[in-house]
C-alpha cells in the first residue's frame, strides 16, 4: 500500500469546474478533493499551478519517429520506446495508445514493425521502466497487400484498445485535394512530376485490388474483437455509413464538416488533431478543427505527430472555442478519450478514480509539466 499523498494549493480542474484546492491520494486512488489555498504540512505545494488529470492519448504516430528517426536509420527498439514514453510523460500524459501501423505500403522504411514494437514496450513495462500506461492502437492501412498477415500477428494482443481503418489513396479522404498529396510526397520523396504521376496511379491501382477485400476481412475480425473501432479521414456521409457498418464508434479526423456532423448523428465521437487546433488549419487542406469545435463537433483531441500539442490545444480550446470551457476542454484530452476505449477508471479528478495527475504551469502558448503522478506514484 502506498502512503497518503496530498497535492495542495493547486488550480484543480475537475469535470465540472476549476478551483483552488487540494487532492488527497490514498492507495493509488483519489480519496478526497477539497477547496482552499492552504498547504498542509507535508503536502506538495503547487503554488497555484494547474492540477489536471493525466492526459490520455488515443492516436500518436510518435513511436515511429523514434524507431526510424531518419531515412535508413533504425533505432534500437527498447531505446526508442523509452524515449517515446519519456516524451509523453513530459507532455503530462499518463495513458498512451501507441498507434502501430500494420500493412506496409511502398518503401516506408520501418516495414512490418508493429509486433516487435509491442514486444519492446511489454519488456519495458515488465521491468517497471515506463512512466505512462501504454496500450495499443492498431492502425490498419487498408490498401496494403500485407495488411491481414501483419494484423494477425498483433490483433489478439490484450493490450489492443483501438483499431482504426485508414485509406490514404490520393483523390479521396485525407487527400481529396490531390495537390496537397503531390506537395507532401514531392517534399518527402523528392519525386519528379513524372514519378509523382506514376506513384499516384500505382496507389489507386492497389486500392482497387485490395481495398474491399481487406475491409471485409477487418470487419470480420472487428466483430469478434474486444476493442473500439475508429474510422479515419471520412469525407462524406457515405464514408460514415461505411464506417458504422464496421462497428466504428469513433471518427478520427473527419475531413469535412459534413462528415463530422454525420459522424455525430450516427452516435460516433469525433477526434481531431491537436496540431490542427494550434495551427488553425489542417496540413492537408481539410476542415479546421477549431471550426468544428465552434460547432460543438469535437469530443477528443489527439496529438497525432506532436506530443506537446495535446495540452496546448486543450487550453486553446478553452480560451477560444465558444463551445468549451476549461473543464470540457481538458475532458477532450482525458476523461472522454479514456472512456471511449473502455478505460473508465481514469481520466478525471474525481473521488474513486486512479490518481493519474499532472501539475502544469500554463501561460499564453506555453505549458510546462512540472510533475506527473501515475496511480499516486510520481513518475516525472
pLDDT greater than 70 at residue 177: no
Query: Is the Cβ–Cβ distance between 365 and 358 less than 8 Å?
Result: no
The whole-number pLDDT of residue 307 equals 97
Q: How far apart are CA 268 and CA 259, in angstroms?
A: 11
The whole-number pLDDT of residue 31 equals 98
pLDDT greater than 80 at residue 175: no
pLDDT greater than 90 at residue 3: no
pLDDT greater than 90 at residue 4: yes
Sign of CA dihedral 128, 129, 131, 134: negative
pLDDT greater than 60 at residue 289: yes
| Between residues 205 and 90, the one the model is more confident about | 90
Query: Is the Cβ–Cβ distance between 290 and 324 less than 8 Å?
Result: no
pLDDT greater than 90 at residue 79: yes
Predicted confidence (pLDDT) per residue in 22-50, tens digit:
999 999 999 999 999 999 999 999 999 99
The whole-number pLDDT of residue 207 equals 74
Nearest to 95 by CA among 272, 310, 314, 366: 310
Q: How confident is the model over 252-271, as a mean pLDDT?
A: 96
The whole-number pLDDT of residue 140 equals 92
The whole-number pLDDT of residue 170 equals 65
Nearest to 289 by CA among 311, 270, 315: 270
| Between residues 24 and 1, the one the model is more confident about | 24
Query: Is the Cβ–Cβ distance between 210 and 147 less than 8 Å?
Result: yes
The whole-number pLDDT of residue 122 equals 98
Domains of the chain, start order? 1-53+347-380 (2.30.40.10), 55-345 (3.20.20.140)
Average pLDDT over the chain, rounded to an integer: 91
Q: How confident is the model over 313-334, as a mean pLDDT?
A: 97
Q: In whole angstroms, how far apart are CA 267 and each of 16, 123, 263, 264?
A: 23, 37, 6, 5
pLDDT band at 105 (very low <50, low <70, confident <90, very high): low
Q: How far apart are CA 149 and CA 112, in angstroms?
A: 10
pTM of the model: 0.90
The whole-number pLDDT of residue 14 equals 98
Predicted confidence (pLDDT) per residue in 215-224, tens digit:
889 989 888 8
Distance from chain centroid for Cα 337: 8
pLDDT greater than 60 at residue 371: yes
The whole-number pLDDT of residue 230 equals 96
| Between residues 173 and 132, the one the model is more confident about | 132
The whole-number pLDDT of residue 214 equals 87
Q: How confident is the model over 55-74, as a mean pLDDT?
A: 93
pLDDT greater than 70 at residue 329: yes
Q: In whole angstroms, how far apart are CA 259 and each of 244, 273, 322, 323?
A: 12, 15, 21, 19
The whole-number pLDDT of residue 18 equals 98
Lowest-pLDDT range of 199-213, 258-272, 275-289, 350-364: 199-213
pLDDT greater than 60 at residue 1: no
Amino acid at each position: 500500500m502506498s502512503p497518503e499523498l496530498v497535492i495542495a494549493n493547486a488550480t484543480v480542474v475537475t469535470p465540472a469546474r476549476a478551483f483552488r484546492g487540494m487532492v488527497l491520494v490514498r492507495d493509488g486512488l483519489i480519496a478526497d478533493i477539497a477547496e482552499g489555498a492552504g498547504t498542509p504540512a507535508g503536502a506538495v505545494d503547487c503554488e497555484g499551478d494547474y492540477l489536471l488529470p493525466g492526459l490520455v492519448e488515443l492516436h500518436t504516430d510518435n513511436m515511429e519517429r523514434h524507431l526510424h528517426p531518419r531515412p535508413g536509420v533504425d533505432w534500437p527498439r527498447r531505446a526508442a520506446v523509452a524515449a517515446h514514453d519519456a516524451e509523453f510523460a513530459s507532455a503530462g500524459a499518463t495513458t498512451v495508445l501507441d498507434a502501430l501501423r500494420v500493412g506496409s505500403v511502398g518503401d516506408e522504411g520501418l516495414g512490418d514493425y508493429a509486433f516487435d514494437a509491442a514486444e519492446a514496450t511489454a519488456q519495458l513495462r515488465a521491468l517497471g521502466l515506463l512512466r505512462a500506461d501504454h496500450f495499443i492502437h492498431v492502425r490498419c492501412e487498408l490498401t496494403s497487400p500485407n495488411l491481414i498477415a501483419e494484423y494477425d500477428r498483433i490483433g489478439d494482443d490484450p493490450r489492443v484498445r483501438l483499431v482504426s481503418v485508414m485509406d490514404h489513396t490520393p483523390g479521396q479522404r485525407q487527400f481529396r485535394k490531390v495537390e496537397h498529396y503531390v506537395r507532401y510526397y514531392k517534399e518527402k520523396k523528392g519525386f519528379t512530376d513524372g514519378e509523382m504521376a506514376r506513384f499516384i496511379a500505382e496507389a489507386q491501382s492497389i486500392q482497387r485490388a485490395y481495398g474491399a477485400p481487406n475491409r471485409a476481412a477487418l470487419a470480420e475480425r472487428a466483430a469478434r474483437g474486444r476493442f473500439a473501432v475508429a474510422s479515419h479521414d471520412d469525407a462524406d456521409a457515405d464514408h460514415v455509413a461505411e464506417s458504422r457498418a464496421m462497428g466504428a464508434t469513433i471518427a478520427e479526423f473527419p475531413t469535412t464538416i459534413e462528415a463530422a456532423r454525420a459522424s455525430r448523428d450516427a452516435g460516433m465521437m469525433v477526434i481531431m488533431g491537436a496540431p490542427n487546433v494550434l495551427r488553425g488549419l489542417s496540413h492537408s487542406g481539410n476542415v479546421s478543427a477549431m471550426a468544428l469545435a465552434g460547432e460543438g463537433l469535437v469530443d477528443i483531441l489527439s496529438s497525432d505527430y506532436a506530443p506537446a500539442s495535446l495540452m496546448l490545444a486543450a487550453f486553446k480550446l478553452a480560451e477560444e472555442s465558444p463551445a468549451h470551457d476549461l473543464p470540457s476542454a481538458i475532458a477532450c484530452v482525458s476523461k472522454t478519450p479514456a472512456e471511449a476505449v473502455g478505460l473508465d477508471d481514469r481520466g478525471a479528478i474525481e473521488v474513486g478514480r486512479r490518481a493519474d495527475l499532472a501539475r502544469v504551469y500554463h501561460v499564453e502558448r506555453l505549458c510546462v509539466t512540472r510533475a506527473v503522478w501515475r496511480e499516486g506514484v510520481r513518475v516525472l
